[in-house]
């Protein structure tokens, strides 16, 4: 069973590709968080995987919260892996989920990392869709390797995009500062479709007096709302209005 958190589809894509190779079941952490579904039965001999995008060299808040609430019913030993997607490097991001996994009685047998299209438009513009598709095609080579290693249940650290290991200690504490929802707003292009309300894994968005409103001071900063909005109506400050959006086109 693969538990994946995906905001713009990259980790979903990685998980889907692994599942196609291994036959492992998929669980969307975003959907599970929205539905508050935390209890799962693990079958005998079933692999357990955790897949997430790297935020500030660590795991997203939504993913960590899910792990802390997760209840797994299993017996015996199960091959357990962690696979991370990133825009450049993962640093030691898997260490940020170590404690919640230990609380579940789990320890990762294998760790993987895969570079996928970057989507952090809060800081800079991103490639157009054709550029993103080229990056995904390049990632497919690494994904095939990852899926094959998981299928054969190889153990070890297989991360080839580690980057500076000290970044997790430096960057991850800063993550909380960037999770403030005051950065977000909906402009005049909003048509009230409520897609952002229905799909926010933090349940941080509601319609109040006919307007999109962030009801929590902090969220996961996953950017799903800004990238998935069909009208490009959600902004983070003024700079994002003219920047590209991205959702993985293959999931």
Residues 96 and 216: beta-carbon distance below 8 Å = no
In terms of CATH architecture, what is 2-172? 3-Layer(aba) Sandwich (3.40)
pLDDT tens figures, 196-213: 999 999 999 999 999 999
In angstroms, the first-to-last Cα distance of the chain is 18
* Average pLDDT of the chain, as a whole number: 97
CATH architecture assigned to 180-242: 2-Layer Sandwich (3.30)
Rounded CA separation 194/207 (Å) = 8
Distance, CA of 119 to CA of 142 (rounded, Å): 20
pLDDT, tens digit, for every residue of 164-179? 999 999 999 999 999 9
Count, residues in the chain: 251
Tens-digit pLDDT profile for residues 55-92: 999 999 999 999 999 999 999 999 999 999 999 999 99
- The pTM score is 0.97
pLDDT score recorded for residue 14: 98
Q: Where are the domains of the chain?
A: 2-172, 180-242
Q: Mark residue 156 as left, alpha or beta (left: phi above 0; alpha: psi -120 to 50; beta: remaining).
A: left
Go through 67-99 and write b for each residue having 16 or more CB atoms within 10 A of its CB, e for each that does not: beebebebeeebbbbbbbbbbebbbbbbbbbee
- pLDDT by residue (tens digit) across 86-133? 999 999 999 999 999 999 999 999 999 999 999 999 999 999 999 999
């Amino acid at each position: 069973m693969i538990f994946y958190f995906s905001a713009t589809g990259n980790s979903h894509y990685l998980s889907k590709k692994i599942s196609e190779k291994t036959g492992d079941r998929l669980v969307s952490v975003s959907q599970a968080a929205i539905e508050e579904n935390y209890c799962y039965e693990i079958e005998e001999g079933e692999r357990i995987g955790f897949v997430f995008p790297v935020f500030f060299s660590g795991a997203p808040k939504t993913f960590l919260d899910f792990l802390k609430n997760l209840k797994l019913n299993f017996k015996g030993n199960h091959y357990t892996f962690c696979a991370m997607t990133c825009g450049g490097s993962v640093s030691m991001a898997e260490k940020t989920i170590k404690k919640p996994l230990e609380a579940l009685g789990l320890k990762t047998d294998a760790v993987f990392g895969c570079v996928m299209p970057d989507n952090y438009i809060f800081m800079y513009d991103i490639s157009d869709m054709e550029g993103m598709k080229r990056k995904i095609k390049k990632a497919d080579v690494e994904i095939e390797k990852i899926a094959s290693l998981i299928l054969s249940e190889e153990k070890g650290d297989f991360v080839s995009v580690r980057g500076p290991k000290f970044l997790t200690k430096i960057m991850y504490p800063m993550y909380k500062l960037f999770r403030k929802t005051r950065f977000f707003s909906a402009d005049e292009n909003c048509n009230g479709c409520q897609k952002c309300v229905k799909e926010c894994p933090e349940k941080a968005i509601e319609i109040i007096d006919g307007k999109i409103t962030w009801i929590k001071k902090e969220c996961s900063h996953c950017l799903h709302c800004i990238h998935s909005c069909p009208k490009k109506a959600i902004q983070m400050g003024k700079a994002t209005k003219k920047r590209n959006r991205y959702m993985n086109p293959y999931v």
